[in-house]
């Protein structure tokens, strides 16, 4: 084992988790350490720049194995009237010791309870891959149980939920199978071969894969909010046809934007992605009357 590998192996689990997140960012750019949870808030929600005057809150949900910190670099790219809120799922960063959920139903129920205090004004969701599935089901649950309707959903890199899963279920398979998937996602070989790092990350990754692989779609009336769907032109997991199926889930508009890049284009094409989201948000912000904030 070389000196670099020894230093990596000596890191505590939370630092190992952060290292993996950094290695998955655009061009090797490090993700800044996560901001502490707001003292008056929830451990589920990271408000990097709290803005009580915000016209709209954008809640962002990460991909499998991802954490809230992947969205921190979005802060200055969104309209000033938008408060960015990263969703911190159990099993990562400061919640590393909390077991990750393996089924979507209990996750959605707890998430909804955590978010309700922050839905005192218009809100939107961005979800990437697994995060898109969570965003969609959370939006439906909030509508059915609390009468809360999102302003818009931004869903990326996940096939329409009614479509069958074309992939084999791998969450229960040996670690080497996971390494094949992670290698395809671009994780460096030195990390894949580091047993200590893999042992720290695999429980959360397995849980996230299990959550997606055991998901069962059920019919509900379409949402009334617009959907904006994003895909990567080089994504070998999710193609354009998979994404076109989202149109049945809204009675409003459903736009599809294909960006250069593979499955994690939110890193490689971050500027383009955020430009599209900001362009879509600005007219929605202009349409929000001050009385709407007072009455929510």
Catalytic residues: 129
d(CA 258, CA 231): 5
Neighbouring residues of 81: CB distance < 8 A, sequence distance ≥ 6: 54, 55, 56, 285
d(CA 206, CA 250): 31
Kindly report the backbone phi and psi dihedral angles of residue 61, in degrees, each rounded to the nearest multiple of 5, phi listed first: -115, 125
| Cβ neighbours around 49 below 10 Å, total | 12
| Cβ neighbours around 61 below 10 Å, total | 26
Neighbouring residues of 7: CB distance < 8 A, sequence distance ≥ 6: none
- Among residues 255, 252, 193, the alpha carbon closest in space to that of 226 is found at 252
């Amino acid at each position: 084992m070389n000196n670099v590998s020894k230093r990596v192996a000596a890191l505590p689990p939370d630092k190992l988790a952060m290292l993996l997140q950094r290695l998955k960012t655009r061009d090797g750019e490090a993700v800044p350490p996560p901001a502490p949870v707001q003292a008056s808030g929830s451990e589920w929600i990271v408000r990097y720049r709290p803005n009580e005057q915000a016209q709209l809150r954008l809640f962002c949900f990460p991909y499998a194995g991802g954490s809230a910190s992947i969205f921190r670099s979005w802060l200055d790219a969104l309209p000033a009237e938008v408060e960015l809120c990263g969703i911190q799922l159990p099993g990562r960063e400061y919640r590393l010791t909390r077991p990750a959920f393996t089924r979507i139903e209990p996750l959605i129920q707890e998430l909804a309870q955590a978010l309700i205090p922050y839905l005192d004004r218009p809100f939107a969701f961005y979800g990437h891959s697994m995060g898109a599935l969570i965003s969609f089901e959370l939006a439906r649950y909030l509508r059915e149980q609390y009468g809360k309707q999102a302003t818009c959903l931004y869903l990326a890199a996940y096939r329409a939920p009614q479509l069958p899963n074309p992939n084999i279920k791998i969450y229960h398979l040996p670690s080497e199978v996971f390494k094949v998937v992670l290698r395809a996602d671009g994780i460096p070989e030195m990390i894949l071969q580091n047993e200590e790092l893999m042992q720290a990350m695999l429980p959360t990754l397995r849980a996230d894969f299990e959550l997606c692989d055991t998901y069962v779609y059920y019919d509900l009336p379409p949402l009334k909010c617009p959907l904006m769907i994003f895909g990567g032109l080089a994504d070998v997991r999710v193609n354009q046809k998979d994404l076109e199926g989202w149109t049945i889930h809204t009675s409003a508009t459903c736009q599809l934007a294909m960006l250069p890049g593979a499955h994690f284009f939110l890193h490689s094409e971050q500027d383009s992605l955020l430009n599209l989201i900001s362009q879509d948000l600005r007219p929605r912000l202009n349409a929000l009357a001050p009385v709407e904030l007072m009455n929510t």
